[in-house]
Amino acid sequence: MSPSELPAGDEPSSDFLNDYFAECDEHLMGVRRLLLRLEQSIGRGDINTSVLDELFRHFHSLKGISGMVELRPAEELSHRAEDYLRALRRHDVRLSPEGVNALFDATQLFEQVVNARRSGGVIPAIDAAVATIAGLVSARPADLAAPVPGAPAGAPLTPHWRFLFAPSRELVGRGIRVDLIRTRLTALGEIIHAAPHVTDSGMIAFEFIVATGADAETIAALQQDGVTAERLPDASVVSDPAAAVDPEWPAVGEPSPVAGSVAPSHVVRVDLTRLDDLMRNVGDLVISRARLGETLARIESHVPAGEWRAVQENALVIDRQLRTLREAIMRVRLVPIGEIFRRMPFVVRDLARETGKRVRLQLQGQSTEIDKFLIERMMDPVLHLVRNAVSHGIETADERVAAGKRPEATITLSASTAGEIVTLEVADDGRGIDVEAVRSRAAGAGLDPATAGDAAGLLELLCAPGFSTRDESDRASGRGVGMAVVKSTVEELGGVLRMETAAGAGTRFIVELPVTLAITDALIAKVGAETFAAPQAAVREVIAVPLSAIRALEQNEITPYRGGVLPLVRLSRLFGLADAARDTLHVLVVGTGGSALGLAVDRVVGQREIVVRAATDPLVKVAGISGATDLGDGRVVLIIDPAALARQMRGRPAGVVDGIAGGGGR
Amino acid sequence: MRKILIVDDSTTIRKMVRASLRQLDDAEFVEAASGLAAIEQIALGPVALIVLDLNMPDMHGMDVLKFVRGHRASKDVPVMVLTTRGDDSSRDTALAAGATLYFTKPFTPPVLLAGAKDLLSGVGPQA
Amino acid sequence: MTDGQQAADRFILFTVAGTTYAVHSHDVHHMEMIEEVTRVPNAPPFVDGVVFSRGHVIPVVNLRARFGFERVPHTLRTRLVVVQAAAGRIVGLIADEAREFVVLPAHAIQPPHDTLAGLSGRYLQGIASVGDRMILVLNLERVLDFGAIAAAGEPPVADAASA
């Protein structure tokens, strides 16, 4: 049978052969790249199916074209490789180092065969390689049934756009075809979906859904090439945890990499670093402004009164603008919560494998933005909730089936904003909280089991310190982060933790946090047995004053300070607290110039960022206290208002301390 | 001029199909390397015959076939489907989905040509 | 009695120094166990301080002190009854025990006797009898209204003296 258009027998025309060789080269490049990735998956029970799929397609194509040019050895090798890859995909065999080596060898041999054909040399024998692979295919049966779905669909952080391309002869005339558009879109981001689309008028168009961080301009530029674009709202992106392992992703347990690692959204990375610098700069500005204030105070006496007023006004304006600047940067610190969610698929996958359960993770609202400070603090608590859900909330596949549920459990992690509140939820469709177990555990731990009467009470018990033993929390979370810490962290951030649970149906933890926080740097000081916070910005400096340096002046105490005199107020006396006997007072110098004042505390224990919370009830509205904060242990720490104290001291007769003497005791 | 659309992701195969069908009268050949490009060709104008490879990376040939059969502009166009050796299930599904003729790769050029001639002259199984 | 009526007559009961008090259930946010209370300097003497409750900083009123009894250390049964007062104020009340719900129809609550008038009577909306129990129904506004009492010139400390 001799083809009329093609050369007879085994000699396809050189024209076809050149194409064949070129195509082989292309495919082989892809194969080599993919085999390297496959090699990294060795030993793990589940492999990235898209790698297998691509490899399969490459060998399939190589088989097809090798057959067409009648290069039988090449066709046979590809066919065998195809068989093995098919078996891997179907889990008939497990990937092993021998298997990968066999594929590498087959690929190399294929190349040699093709090159031999190209150069007219002797085509090497392939029997050994064929036998090796054939042996692998019929190897031991599957001993692992890990769920292996496709790779995660698109970077969860980036926005999704829908592009519609309508082809036309005019566009073709300009060289614009659908494949070109597709290439362009691939350069913009990741194409999640590509399909033909018939419009209402019966015209044929093409729809692409792309995950891209490209800016609106770049996207708009596509319009002149027949492409219309539409930004999609964040629908739920079903990311499967058992999928995974793209070896480029960070391993579980690693801290969030800063720069230099594969990040879904590079823009956010860069901004965070710059934002930190910005914050530092503003912080420096605040300090400089304070120093300027001191300098100004020193020269006050040399400046005519009229001029001085102007200087004061300028200073106040700068103060105000600095505050605005600081707040504006705070708002810019909003970061997509996907940062926290990113790690979850790996955590779930690992834990599910360890516990032998089948779990799928659903992520929603990854682009919801929250303050960067919140991201850092909430990472561990959310991790703990997710681990808890897998470890305790979710039943084994058998138990689930027995209960009439799907064998695969679902954990949903979602985030959304409404006004000033951002809500995070970790929900599972597992067995729900065992109220009786909680009750007996509570009783055993010395807590009141009756509290478990409602969901709020249950949550309280779960979060009570001492409720879960250290061993338990270690096993569940690996880091000793118990529910107590989850609760205290949430509350420290100005938020609320709630829980809903239904026996047999599942549990849902709800965290509500303020979107932006009033955060300020503060000095933490002890006065007697009490702890207070003082806003850093209000404190010019902290000095140590030995008792011997304190003089009495009428009813006041003063001490030498910078060539002048600093009036002192002992906070212990002002607040009616026990005066600890010390030989040195630590003094927070507040105010400037003539209104400078030293607030004496027992000692300054540290400096840190605090979240400012309002304490507005009239019952606790006292002079000198501007709010409250939580230093992480759930106790309220009051924030003193140095400026108000200074004003107060200025406005009263010497020696009289405001407020009712001897406040209430316990 | 009758437009013959050749759809295969392999350049080599496209060339070989084209070479095989060069003898057809009044034929103008257009090639598509992907399913989307194939459909684009249909959007751009009427096609007389489609030679369609089933195994394509971006969009499986079967989906292209279904689209072709589902769109008014192309539903009656004869389609010759190329399947791979040993892929019987694909062949059956393709026929069920509306393929007019099927050939297994590697195909024999004269046989391909004969089939094409038949379809273009209205002889043989209709879509 | 219809459900609606029942809801309107539902009260939460708690005890302070042996006496049982009642507050409308819809005024009660929730009850929790008491943890560390941070003292607020120069607050009224019956205000033990502030705590965090469900994300808010709220004042803690020691009912024992408020009603003129001596303070006692907290036990496992001590409860913080978090109530909603007027104008969005949320305040916590420390009670020795708080466990029960009861339905008190309006007609079962008698206005306080004149003999109870005076500072203690001020805090009551009425008195109810359930079986042989006497339940004092509180007037939250008055209990929490430090301002009015101060304005009236009577320091709260005097409560203890007149009890």
Nearest CA in chain A to C91: A617
For the record, the structure tokens of B35 come out as 């399913």
User: Could you give the CA distance from residue A272 to residue A258 in angstroms, rounded to a whole number?
Assistant: 9
**Cβ neighbours of A196 in B, within 8 Å:** 35-36, 39, 59, 67
Question: Is A636:C50 a contact under the CB 8 Å cutoff?
Answer: yes
* A460, A512, A664 ranked by CB distance to C65: nearest: A664
Residues paired with B104 in a beta bridge: B83
B29-73: per-residue pLDDT in tens? 999 999 999 999 999 889 999 999 988 877 888 889 989 998 888
- pLDDT value, residue A662: 32
* A12, A19, A204 ranked by CB distance to B42: nearest: A204
Contact C147 A618 (CB under 8 A): yes
Contact C71 A634 (CB under 8 A): no
CB atoms within 10 A of CB A554: 9
How far is residue A314 from each of residues A289, A590, A594, measured CA to CA in Å?
Answer: 11, 20, 18
Contact B15 A16 (CB under 8 A): yes
- Greater confidence, C10 or A660? C10
CB of B97 less than 8 A from some CB of A: no
Torsion angle of C-alpha atoms A243, A248, A251, A255, degrees rounded to 10: -130
- pLDDT value, residue A419: 64
Contact A23 B10 (CB under 8 A): yes
Task: DSSP letter for A237, please.
Answer: B
User: Could you give the CA distance from residue A595 to residue A647 in angstroms, rounded to a whole number?
Assistant: 8
User: Could you give the CA distance from residue A633 to residue C51 in angstroms, rounded to a whole number?
Assistant: 12
Nearest CA in chain A to C70: A666
CB of B104 less than 8 A from some CB of A: no
Residues 397-416, chain A: which have Cβ within 8 Å of C?
none
Supply angle C-alpha A621, A622, A628, rounded to 5.
70
Nearest CA in chain A to C79: A451
CB of B5 less than 8 A from some CB of A: no
Helix (H) or strand (E) holding A556: strand A556-561
Predicted-complex ipTM score: 0.84
How far is residue C124 from each of residues A630, B85, C22, measured CA to CA in Å?
Answer: 36, 94, 10
* B37, B106, B109 ranked by CB distance to A178: nearest: B37
Q: Of A374, A511, A575, A620, which to mutate for an interface test with C (greatest number of C Cβ within 10 Å)? A: A620
Low-confidence ranges of chain A (pLDDT < 50): 1-10, 141-155, 236-271, 470-471, 473-480, 654-666
Q: In terms of Cα–Cα distance, which of C127, C120, C145 is closest to C61?
A: C145
* B22, B45, B106 ranked by CB distance to A5: nearest: B22
User: Could you give the CA distance from residue A541 to residue A453 in angstroms, rounded to a whole number?
Assistant: 52
Contact A625 C77 (CB under 8 A): no
C70-122: per-residue pLDDT in tens? 999 998 889 999 998 876 788 999 999 988 888 888 888 888 776 665 555 67
The number of residues making up chain C comes to 163
Q: Determine C/B contact with 3+ CB pairs under 8 A as the test.
A: no
B68-112: per-residue pLDDT in tens? 998 888 888 999 998 776 566 777 788 888 888 888 877 888 888
pTM (2 d.p.): 0.41
Task: DSSP letter for A130, please.
Answer: H
Residue with tokens 């060898």: A105
Contact B19 A5 (CB under 8 A): yes
Residue A251, SS3?
coil
Question: Is A663:C62 a contact under the CB 8 Å cutoff?
Answer: no
Peptide bond into A124 cis (omega under 30): no
**Cβ neighbours of A170 in B, within 8 Å:** none
- pLDDT value, residue C163: 33
DSSP A269-302: HHHHHHHHHHHHHHHHHHHHHHHHHHHHHHHGGG
Contact A638 C58 (CB under 8 A): no
User: Could you give the CA distance from residue A490 to residue C99 in angstroms, rounded to a whole number?
Assistant: 28
- pLDDT value, residue A242: 32
- Smallest CA–CA distance, residue A385 to chain B, in Å, is 40
Query: What are chain A's partners, defined as 3 or more CB pairs within 8 angstroms?
Result: B, C
Residues 190-219, chain A: which have Cβ within 8 Å of B?
194-196, 198, 202-206
Contact B20 A3 (CB under 8 A): yes
- pLDDT value, residue C16: 93
**Cβ neighbours of A60 in B, within 8 Å:** 55, 84
User: Could you give the CA distance from residue B108 to residue A468 in angstroms, rounded to a whole number?
Assistant: 74
Q: Where are the beta strands (DSSP E) in chain B?
A: 2-7, 27-32, 49-53, 79-84, 101-105
- Smallest CA–CA distance, residue A617 to chain C, in Å, is 7
Chain-centroid distance of CA A331 in Å reads 18
Q: In terms of Cα–Cα distance, which of A112, A61, A107, A101 is closest to A81?
A: A107
CB of A510 less than 8 A from some CB of C: no
Residue type present at position C53: S
Helix (H) or strand (E) holding A329: helix A305-332
CB pairs under 8 A between A and B: 105
CB of B51 less than 8 A from some CB of A: no
A585-605: per-residue pLDDT in tens? 899 998 776 678 899 999 888
CB of A515 less than 8 A from some CB of C: no
Chain-centroid distance of CA A155 in Å reads 13
CB of A7 less than 8 A from some CB of B: no
What is the pLDDT of chain A when averaged over all its residues?
A: 76
Chain-centroid distance of CA A142 in Å reads 36
Nearest CA in chain C to A459: C32
**Cβ neighbours of C51 in A, within 8 Å:** 636
Residues paired with A237 in a beta bridge: A363
B20 has a pLDDT exceeding 70: yes
User: Could you give the CA distance from residue A317 to residue A439 in angstroms, rounded to a whole number?
Assistant: 59
- pLDDT value, residue A657: 44
Q: Of B3, B9, B24, B40, which to mutate for an interface test with A (greatest number of A Cβ within 10 Å)? A: B40
Contact A61 B113 (CB under 8 A): no
CB of A637 less than 8 A from some CB of C: yes
Contact B44 A169 (CB under 8 A): yes
**Cβ neighbours of B51 in A, within 8 Å:** none
Contact C62 A664 (CB under 8 A): yes
Contact B59 A195 (CB under 8 A): yes
Nearest CA in chain A to B19: A5
Nearest CA in chain B to A67: B106
User: Could you give the CA distance from residue A373 to residue A217 in angstroms, rounded to a whole number?
Assistant: 31
* A512, A627, A666 ranked by CB distance to C71: nearest: A666
Contact B109 A198 (CB under 8 A): no
Contact C40 A638 (CB under 8 A): yes
**Cβ neighbours of A22 in B, within 8 Å:** 11
CB of A634 less than 8 A from some CB of B: no
Contact A664 C90 (CB under 8 A): no
**Cβ neighbours of B23 in A, within 8 Å:** 4-5
Taking the CA of residue A46 as centre, how many other CA atoms within 13 Å lie in the half-sphere pointing to its CB? Answer: 20
- pLDDT value, residue A599: 92
Question: Is C128:C135 a contact under the CB 8 Å cutoff?
Answer: yes
